[in-house]
């Protein structure tokens, strides 16, 4: 199969070495931030924020907090996907106020669902809510990876970092956020041997089950 989308998905790979001299344009960055905001999330609640780090000194400080993976230093920008520190009734009500504003839906139509969500989240432990929020962050990561591929932007999805170290360095506690995923973005170095390696996948025949 050689559709344009599949070709682009084959082009992308988890970039190990970025060309530090090449920077993403403001236009490309804007596409990524817009794509992050457009990511679908459960109930539409968007319990996420994304840091966009361009500062070289800060990127360098991320290296020891990222299992010494140099991508965070050499990439044009480092995106850090964060979950909210709390998902309480104020947060949920703010979302429904937005629905009311943007769509002009009368509040009384929204109230039953709003109350259901407030009650549902109150019944969950903080750990359960954090896990749920982290799942939304992974959706955003997937979305960003695809958009990067379509836009010819290189990226390396990363779980290999110290979230607490990031939170401290980046002052995330004060912002009531927790880092969950890291995505250095930019352009591959010509010296990155991984770019030429064949993709290793289980194969459509094995992973798809047709009924």
Ligand X SMILES: Cc1cc2nc3c(=O)[nH]c(=O)nc-3n(C[C@H](O)[C@H](O)[C@H](O)COP(=O)(O)O)c2cc1C
In the complex, the residues that contact ligand X under the rule CB under 6 A are 13-14, 16, 69, 156-160, 199
Residue 159 C-beta: closest distance to ligand X, Å = 4
SS3 content of the chain, % helix, strand, coil (to 5): 55, 15, 35
Taking the complex as a whole, the smallest distance from the CB of residue 13 to ligand X amounts, in Å, to 3
Q: Which is nearer to ligand X, 117 or 133 (CB)?
A: 133
Report which DSSP code applies to 123: T
CB of 55 to ligand X, least distance (A): 21
CB of 142 to ligand X, least distance (A): 8
Q: Which is nearer to ligand X, 49 or 188 (CB)?
A: 188
**Helical H segments across 39-125, by residue range:** 56-62, 71-74, 89-103, 107-122
User: Among candidates 148, 150, 143, 144, which has minimal Cα distance to 4?
Assistant: 150
Residue 18 β-bridge partners: 188
Nearer to ligand X, 11 or 113 (CB): 11
Q: Are 136 and 42 in contact (CB under 8 A)?
A: yes
The residue whose Cβ lies closest to ligand X is: 160
Cβ nearer to ligand X, comparing 13 with 95: 13
Residues 155/148, Cβ–Cβ less than 8 Å: yes
Site of tokens 């960003």: 144
């Amino acid at each position: 199969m050689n559709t344009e989308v599949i070709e682009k998905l084959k082009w992308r790979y988890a970039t190990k070495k970025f060309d530090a001299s090449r920077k993403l344009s403001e236009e490309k960055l804007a596409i990524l931030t817009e794509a992050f905001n457009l990511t679908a999330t459960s109930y539409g609640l968007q319990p996420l924020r994304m840091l966009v780090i361009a500062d070289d000194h800060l990127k360098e400080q991320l290296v020891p907090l990222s299992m010494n993976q140099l991508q965070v230093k050499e990439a044009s920008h480092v995106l850090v996907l964060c979950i909210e520190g709390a998902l309480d009734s104020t947060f949920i009500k703010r979302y429904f106020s937005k629905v009311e504003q943007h769509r002009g839906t009368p509040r009384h139509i929204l109230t039953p669902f709003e109350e259901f969500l407030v009650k549902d989240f109150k019944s969950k432990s903080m750990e359960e809510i954090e896990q749920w929020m982290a799942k939304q962050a992974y959706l955003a990561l997937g979305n960003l990876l695809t958009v990067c591929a379509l836009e010819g932007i290189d990226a390396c999805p990363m779980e290999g970092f110290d979230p607490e170290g990031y939170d401290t360095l980046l002052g995330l506690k004060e912002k009531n956020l927790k880092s969950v995923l890291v995505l250095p973005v930019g352009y591959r170095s010509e010296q990155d041997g991984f770019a030429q390696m064949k993709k290793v996948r289980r194969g459509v025949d094995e992973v798809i089950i047709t009924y």
